[in-house]
């Protein structure tokens, strides 16, 4: 019963954040919710710090863990497996190389910058897969703390905004056609809203929707990489726990069961072709749940610790983003 108060508090923050995010999709509700939570936590620390904040703490923790996982499951109803086939072998080939490039760059640059392992993994996952949603899915699996999640999402958000403005002119400068730009935007831009924005800008100038449609399909297909990635991270985390001697080793404690339900939701949506209104409602509910979870993460964030991290996460994000964008172009050139 005590959890209700904390959940309701996150709901209060998420609701206006969600509404504003719908008006300004390039920023998005989750980012607004995180920022609101951070500000409230900094101004009124007694709300979320024990013992005075005990009335809200349990519910906030429940929102950042369980509601987040339920929300990710609902996002599966946005997926259609036939789209994976539709994008064809070329785009899947490009996605494979950009995925590997992001993680290799994150690993090498993270070590050079001497960043903690979790923040390196989260930025690598966010760059290679689908931005904030991928970070949200990976965070509980690797046991990342809320400060790491905020750093990663803030970094990814910065490059989402930059990409919308620079990708269309760079694509024209490189002499891309509509399909090439669609693949490039779909594989090298992190968040769906930013992919759609960049694709729309290109398609408006081209007076057709080829680039927009291709970019959107490629981007949604990238989201399926959440499944194998989180399974791999679960095994990595389990091995890490076992080697460190932190109690009894049990894989089921770190296994991302919610990701399997995400995959089941995608399969159900593909097989039974749910009515657009039903699937859309489920997906929007999932996105709102993520906004609530981001509000709870913001409330749990230590602002002083966040500021003290400096520009290293941004440098890491720059390296990952640059490598993905360049590899996507190189692989397309090699194939063509």
pTM (2 d.p.): 0.78
What's the pLDDT tens digit per position in 162-208?
888 889 889 989 888 888 898 899 888 887 778 888 888 888 777 77
pLDDT of residue 306: 66
Is the distance from CB of 111 to CB of 248 less than 8 angstroms?
Answer: no
Count how many residues are written for the chain.
336
Q: Assess whether pLDDT exceeds 80 at residue 303.
A: no
- Tell me how crowded residue 309 is: count the other CB atoms within 10 A of its CB: 17
pLDDT of residue 88: 60
Burial of 284 (0-12, 13-18, 19+ CB in 10 A): middle
Q: Concatenate the DSSP letters of all residues of 277-329 into one string.
A: HHHHHHHHHHHHHHHHHHHHHHHT--HHHHHHTTTHHHHHHHHHHHHHHHHHH
**50 closest CA partner among 6, 4, 1:** 6
How far apart are the C-alpha atoms of 214 and 199, rounded to whole Å?
9
Is the distance from CB of 45 to CB of 57 less than 8 angstroms?
Answer: no
Tokens matching residue 49: 């710090």
How far apart are the C-alpha atoms of 285 and 302, rounded to whole Å?
28
Is the distance from CB of 49 to CB of 302 less than 8 angstroms?
Answer: no
Q: Assess whether pLDDT exceeds 80 at residue 336.
A: no
- Tell me how crowded residue 83 is: count the other CB atoms within 10 A of its CB: 15
Residue keyed to tokens 């709901």: 11
- Tell me how crowded residue 135 is: count the other CB atoms within 10 A of its CB: 28
What's the pLDDT tens digit per position in 110-155?
999 888 888 999 999 988 887 777 888 888 888 888 888 888 888 8
Residue keyed to tokens 């095994």: 235
How far apart are the C-alpha atoms of 30 and 37, rounded to whole Å?
10
Q: Concatenate the DSSP letters of all residues of 213-234 into one string.
A: HHHHHHHHHHHTTHHHHHHHHH
The conformational region for residue 114 under phi > 0 = left, psi -120 to 50 = alpha, else beta, is left
Number of H helices, E strands in the chain: 17, 0
What's the pLDDT tens digit per position in 83-111?
767 666 667 788 889 989 999 999 999 99
């Amino acid at each position: 019963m005590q959890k209700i108060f904390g959940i309701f508090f996150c709901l209060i923050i998420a609701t206006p954040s969600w509404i504003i995010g719908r008006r300004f999709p390039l920023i998005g509700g989750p980012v607004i919710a995180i920022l609101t939570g951070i500000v409230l936590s900094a101004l009124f620390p007694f709300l979320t710090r024990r013992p005075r904040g005990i009335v809200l703490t349990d519910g906030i923790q429940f929102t950042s863990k369980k509601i987040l996982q339920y929300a990710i499951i609902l996002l599966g109803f946005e997926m259609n497996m036939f789209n994976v086939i539709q994008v064809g072998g070329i785009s899947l080939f490009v996605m494979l190389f950009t995925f590997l490039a992001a993680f290799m760059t994150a690993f090498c640059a993270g070590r050079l910058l001497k960043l903690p392992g979790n923040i390196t993994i989260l930025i690598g996952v966010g760059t290679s897969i689908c931005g904030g949603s991928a970070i949200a899915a990976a965070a509980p699996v690797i046991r990342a703390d809320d400060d790491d999640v905020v750093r990663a999402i803030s970094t990814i958000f910065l490059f989402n905004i930059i990409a919308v403005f620079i990708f269309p002119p760079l694509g024209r400068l490189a002499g891309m056609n509509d399909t090439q730009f669609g693949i490039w935007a779909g594989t090298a831009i992190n968040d769906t809203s930013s992919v759609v924005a960049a694709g729309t800008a290109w398609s408006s100038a081209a007076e057709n929707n080829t680039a927009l449609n291709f970019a959107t399909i490629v981007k949604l297909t990238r989201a399926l990489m959440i499944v194998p990635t989180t399974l791999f991270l679960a095994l990595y985390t389990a091995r890490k726990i076992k080697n460190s001697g932190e109690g009894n080793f049990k894989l089921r404690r770190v296994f991302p069961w919610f990701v399997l339900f995400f995959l089941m939701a995608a399969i159900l949506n593909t097989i039974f072709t749910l009515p657009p209104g039903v699937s859309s409602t489920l997906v929007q509910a999932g996105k709102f749940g993520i906004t609530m979870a981001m509000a709870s993460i913001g409330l749990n964030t230590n602002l002083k610790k966040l500021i003290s991290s400096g520009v290293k996460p941004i440098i890491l994000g720059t390296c990952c983003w640059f490598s993905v964008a360049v590899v996507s172009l190189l692989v397309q050139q090699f194939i063509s």
